[in-house]
Amino acid sequence: MATHAPARDPLAGTGAAGVRRESREWLWSLLAGVAILAAIALVPLSGDDAALSLWTLIVMFCVLAQGWNFIGGYAGYAAFGNVVFFGIGAEAVALTLLNGGPFWLGLLLGTLAAGLFAFLLGLPVLRLRGHYFAIATLGIAEALGELVAAKAIGGPGGEVSLTPPDLDFHIANTLFFYGFLALSLLTLLGTAWLARSRFGVALVAIRENEEAAEALGIPTFWYKVGAFVLSALPTALAGGLYAYWFLSLQPTGEGGVFDVGYSVSMVLMTFLGGAGTIVGPLIGGIIIEYLVQTTTVAFGDIHGQLLGALIILVTIFLPQGLIRLVRELTVSPAGVKLSYTRRFTEGVRRVQRFIASNGI
Amino acid sequence: MPNAQILVNWLLIGSFYAAVALGFSLVWGIMNIVNLAHGSLLILGAYVAYFAFTALHLNPFIGIILAMLALFVVGWLIQYIAINRVIRAPLLVTFMLTFGLDLLITNLAQQFFTANNRAINSSLAGVNLTLGAIVIPVQNVLAALIAVLLTAALSLFLARTRTGNAILAVGMDRDAARLMGINIARTYALTFALGAALAGAAGAMLAMTLQFQPVDAGQYTLFAFVIVALGGLGTPWGALAGGLLFGLATTLSGSIQAIGPGLQTTVAFAVLVLVLVLRPRGVLGKAFYS
């Protein structure tokens, strides 16, 4: 029968005790996120160039997932074309550098352009719901990539090769690593602020029931546009950093800056960690990108199959994400004191019920 | 190119597109699942038809039937084992699940069948009817006719048979249908199996008329989505209307000099976004599948 699972978001807490408990949780999440990033910040000390470039990629994907979390996790809109902002950021940096402009100007222009694009694009597409929104955003990303390739922006077929920065190779790579890390920290702080702000609460209301939110007087449309723009900004910055770090760009195809694979990674990472949580995208991003990179090396031939199987297992058995799984297994209901073993066994039962409630 | 030739090309490619989207439309309309593995099921169907022709030396039109049977079984298993477990979850979950399936199937196909381009070169390939300056490839005409026949057959099956009515009932209200004694899990498996079988048929037509390889899967999934969104979700005829409209957009944009052939997908998506904004239900869309 239709056993509707209780809403499992931090703002659904009922009663004063529940609210107080949740309001400490944002702080723990933020501290956990900062601790994770601080640990990653030690990577360049090892002096290993391979490890440095691996973790630069991982942190970049964390930023992408964190950016997607604003529109996909908090507002609950299935944006499948967020790679378009990554591409705009990368193209802006590439074109600025090709025309002799400074790197910071390219980053600034890319971020402004992506924010403006998200605003103008949001006006029509955020009136769409569900699958239609997903595919409209997906289509726009595909179309823009094809346009860059067909109009040969930046070079034949849209392919660009940039001159590396005038710095020692190792120092430049270390700087890019810390650039991505700072961006991730900034996005983490932004998410923590959002989760506690009126804006964030409105987005969660939209995710849970848009009609009810509208009826309560929340200007849902403008909040959605705001969330879309917010998710575009870090994504565009990451694209700009990526362009100057990676140096050679192509618009379409695997690894192209408009490749839908990036969008899928954002969604999968956010899902694995926990969509609409502060630190979830960070954790999901680290786990998935680390697995992807290491399995590509170890099982190059079948890493696509492994990734596909991983996605299937995560969506069936971990639909709420790791953060909420840990919460279910460790936290007792509001106002009740339970031993840790009781919490765990009760938690396992709740999680099993939740997974079963998704099926027929 | 004479205008009549453009018209013929449009009708042929349009009906092929309709076949591409038919199964996708059924699965989406009944179960509210956007099946991102649709394209890879279609490519699997193409391989079944290809090997039926090259290894078993069967007529390509028998290959269509074989592809439908094989994909029916594959679809049934996918729904029963995997998708039924997340059918009540938010839409992103089924989105991700079918994407994972797509990745798995496409990569397995690449591993076992290699990334080579394949096509069926039967005795019918290259046989053309010529009317003045107009060239009509016979094999494509037969494929187009089969596409229209499949649309009509699906429509009749849903409207006239007890099983078809059960599928529609489940699509309208799952819980009410269960109270009427319909087995939901089995009906969903049947629906997905039918959708996969139709994808298989489209794949067999693809193998007959064009080249294919595993990585083409994503493109056909995208096409199916655009076509269904254009034509509307409520009915099998929506897929046909959408296929013809999508064919019109790609054929016309390919023949206009200012746009050129490199931007066909862009034009198609531009049309899609316009339609979504102006008429979100599509051209023939209804509130539920019938």
Listed by start position, the domains of chain B span 3-117+135-278
The distance of A264 to chain B (nearest Cα, Å) reads 8
What pLDDT score was predicted for residue A53? 92
pLDDT at A16 over 50: no
Asked if A78 lies within 8 A of B91 by C-beta distance, the reply is yes
Q: What is the DSSP letter of A209?
A: -
Most B CBs within 10 A among A316, A318, A320, A355, hence the mutation to make, goes to: A316
DSSP summary character for residue A74: I
Q: Do A146 and B222 touch (CB under 8 A)?
A: no
- Considering CB atoms only, which of A128, A150, A302 is closest to B111? A302
3-state secondary structure (DSSP) of residue A318: coil
Its CATH architecture, for the domain B3-117+135-278, is: Orthogonal Bundle (1.10)
Rounded to the nearest angstrom, the minimum Cα separation between A104 and chain B is 31
Is the Cβ of B219 closer than 8 Å to some Cβ of chain A?
no
**Is the ipTM beyond the 0.90 threshold?**
no
Q: Which residue of A has its CA nearest to B282?
A: A132
Rounded to 10 deg, the angle between the A280-298 and A260-273 helix axes is 120
Residues 6+ apart with CB under 8 A from B140: B12, B16, B209
Instruction: For residues A184 and A180, give the distance between their C-alpha atoms in angstroms, rounded to a whole number.
Output: 6
pLDDT averaged per 10 residues in sequence order, chain B, 290 residues:
81 92 93 92 96 90 94 96 90 86 92 88 78 84 93 94 94 91 94 97 93 87 86 85 88 67 68 73 57
| Residue from the list A140, A302, A312 with its beta carbon closest to the beta carbon of B269 | A140
Which one of 1.10.8, 1.25.40, 1.10.3470, 2.30.30 gives the CATH number of domain A38-302?
1.10.3470
- Give the model confidence (pLDDT) of A312-344 as tens digits: 998 898 888 888 888 888 877 777 778 888 888
Domain residue limits, chain A: 38-302, 319-360
Structure tokens at B11: 């009708």
The 10 Å Cβ neighbour count of residue B263 is 21
**DSSP letter string, A98-122:** HTT--HHHHHHHHHHHHHHHHHHHH
Taking the CA of residue B211 and the nearest CA in chain A, the distance in Å comes to 19
Residues of A in contact with B95 (CB under 8 A): 78, 80, 131, 134, 267
CB contact under 8 A, B96 and A311: yes
Q: How many CB pairs under 8 A join A and B?
A: 142
Tell me the chain A residues in contact with residue B85 when contact means C-beta distances shorter than 8 Å. Answer: 316, 355, 358-359
- Taking an 8 Å cut-off on Cβ atoms, the answer to whether A125 and B95 are in contact is no
Top residue of A71, A84, A123, A132 to mutate, by most chain B CBs within 10 Å, is A132
Whether B266 contacts chain A with CB within 8 A: yes
pLDDT band at A15 (very low <50, low <70, confident <90, very high): very low
Sequence-ordered strand ranges (E) for chain A: 160-161, 248-249
Half-sphere exposure of B89 (CA within 13 A, CB side): 26
Percent above pLDDT 70 for chain A: 93
